Structure 1
């Protein structure tokens, strides 16, 4: 992630826009939304939508009403209403597309309880906000030490300060219920701020912290994925993946969300595909299905007495055999159908230039030089000798 002007400097911060990845140019923001209505003007007499989307630390986004009719654009830092005091965030979306996002997230834009935007953040607000953000790592480390001393089975994964610095929200994960009343007292005494504890799931933790997946790209949940659908091992079975928990699990320890991306295509292809427990009756014996390839429309069968000898049949051939078996007819053998499938493959590439193989250095050297030397020595010797 990062816009064209964001290159890493010596101190680890982006060079160019100097906004630490919050420049609002569609590439630096987590869970960014492309405003495809930004270049379109409103009809005559239409008023602009009075709600905006504001992002706070990491992936937390909320909707606010622009009661002051401020001319806001993506990337503006604003002071917003909070339960007590005010918070500071960055505008990520404006205009009619905010109404679509609110409808998607089931937010009522007519609700009078919708929080408001106070003003554009002044330099004093931004300085105080950045000062509080600079304390988060130190406070997170000390809070973890306090939790370990109290013997609580929980993991504090992230700390988020409110814009005015009066309150800090601690995000934690735990497998069981945790009594953190003493923890709140100790942290409030040590930090001198109001404490709010919020439990999140392991997927929400990975969404907030971010990371690199096994595919080499950034995590989907921290870049564009907004909803978490349930993922089960049946998704891997339908796609004929090995049920290896180390390969199927993501950074959060749960099953990868990408297992659901191509599941609908597999389910649609399997509607007219023979079942995996299909048995074919032949005169040579009963044959069982060992493997199926949806892309090639091929199934592999083997006889009961020869489980290691597989025969590749096309989907149409298997359906034909099944129809004959329903009529109580047996085919002679699977080898007849396999012989029909055996077509000589055409050579797609031929080395007409005479290029050497890449593995030519792996071959053992031949002992030609010694034979040549012995022949030369025999020629040099006199005939009398």
Structure 2
């Protein structure tokens, strides 16, 4: 293979003219960002939940014909059984646990953004390096064309096109640097990034063969558990036999044999149609939730498979492109060597060959970037991105 096409996948050879040498490694940047992203929610910040001894208290008083001396009083108490208290506390604890789910969702969103933004930074840095390299070639080409024009041996249109290409590179550099500035500001990245440790194309291919365990459906599990606890509470309330207890005091009487204090108990049977309907509705919600979760899993599996197939095809095309273009450059170099042996070679031909090599390398780099982007999408779809948040899935092993 031609020495100009021997390119390690996703390795940036940072020229002195491109970036200073006090750069930071890709994995160090990732670890520093992840360390700042934990919410560290404090469960103690939630107000402690205490259940009353009784569900409700009711005090009534009545008088007959404004005879206040014979005032009647009624105290009714609705009890709460230990099983109901346990069910209520279980449901409350479930709601309180949503804090950890919020942190999980937050971290997943932040992780997706981090991978996407680092990928964008990687592309921008590749673009800046290409601009520097291409600018050097075009500057040499411009100087040669000026000399040729002085001797009346050059195409003026070629010169104008070269100058225009140089100006376009300056504009592209300006735009790229602005975008890079915006992205690095998000994560307080002040140093330049060394991408030498980013994952290789062969490692991506190997990782695609690993068995994929789809990301745990924590949102589904949490919602299902909440409904199940609601059903448990409804069942305990419907199984409560004692509805209320009461004490009636009928006031003082002259007849000592007349009953003045009465104690009563209200019983209930589980015959409430509305409660049964509510329980059935909750069970139907679980069925719908499980059905939606199955559909989401099927869709995720299909999407993951499509991405894996797409990446494999992209890698095959990349290798084929690399092989064919390598042969193309080799043949061009052989012909140019023959020309050099026979006569003084036109320096523009040497420039043209170097330009072709650089543009082919740029195309290879672009293909590699597309593979990396789809690999990031694959990490999201499969859930592998969210397995061990602090492990950078784009670092070479």
TM range (shorter): under 0.3
Q: Which has the higher contact order (CA 8 A, sep 6+)?
A: 2
Greater per-residue strand proportion: 1
When normalised by structure 2's length, the TM-score is 0.16
When normalised by structure 1's length, the TM-score is 0.17
